[in-house]
Amino acid sequence: MPRFGVRHMVPTLNGTGFMFEVLDGYAEEWIGFAGHSADPVLEVGCAYGVASIAALEAGARVVACDMEPGHLEILAGRVTPALRDRLACVVAKLPEAEFAPESFGAILCSRVLHFLTGEEIDASVGAMARWLRPGGRLYLVADTPYGIWRNFIPAFEAARRAGRRWPGMMRGLREHLPTPGIHRYIDRPAFMNLLDPELLARTCAGAGLQVRRASFIERRDFRGLGMLDGRENAGVLAVKPGT
């Protein structure tokens, strides 16, 4: 895997950012739930598989999905032979990814949705709701403007006050990055659509899911990336109605 000068940050192969090796509470909860699930679980945007491998080690059957084939090749190479029969790798990206309805007991989609337009976010969460079995859990994590994108806070909050449905749409990414050296690893996205707990909860509710928890996520492992205030990421846990 490639490396970057900040600990626990691994650049992606396709110039869209990083995989963070320190797991947040939502990912850890997905791993714990997956390890006791009788159903397969899915990770969308798995990158090099830090969460997928942990779920396999916990006893889960995991479908690891990413748009970059090279990520999945590295992931498969990191999995021990004893775990490989419980891992399936799928090359796909949101919102085009397709899986059969009611295929999974839990889904993790971490730090992916902010690369999509608002319409694509709604379509993707709607699709993930269909892929869940009744009673299945959806865990979402996304970037907010309060982490490495702090230069965008005034524009985000102004758009919030103006009632825009997607206040986090941000173009000209390099203008909003405060950390020297990080720019060359984020050169592909034409935009990012930064989110917060309320926006994530809204799109889950719109997909017919029951929101159990929505919160900001403090990421102390981001310390090398500028000032922090405990709102670096946003997360939501939503459940598909039924038994």
Cis, bond preceding 95 (omega within 30 deg of 0): yes
Q: How far apart are CA 234 and CA 200, in angstroms?
A: 8
CATH node for 9-239: 3.40.50.150
Instruction: Summarize pLDDT for 20-58 with one digit per residue, the tens.
Output: 888 999 999 999 999 999 999 999 999 999 999 999 999
- For residue 23, give the nearest of 49, 60, 59 by alpha carbon: 49
Where are the chain's structural domains?
A: 9-239
Instruction: Summarize pLDDT for 82-136 with one digit per residue, the tens.
Output: 999 999 999 999 999 999 999 999 999 999 999 999 999 999 999 999 999 999 9
Q: Which long-range contacts (CB under 8 A, 24 or more apart) does 169-175 make?
A: 169/117, 169/118, 169/193, 170/145, 170/194, 175/151
Beta-carbon-side half-sphere exposure of residue 16 (alpha carbons within 13 Å): 20
Longest dimension (CA), the chain: 54
Specify the pTM.
0.92
Structure tokens at 240: 């598909």
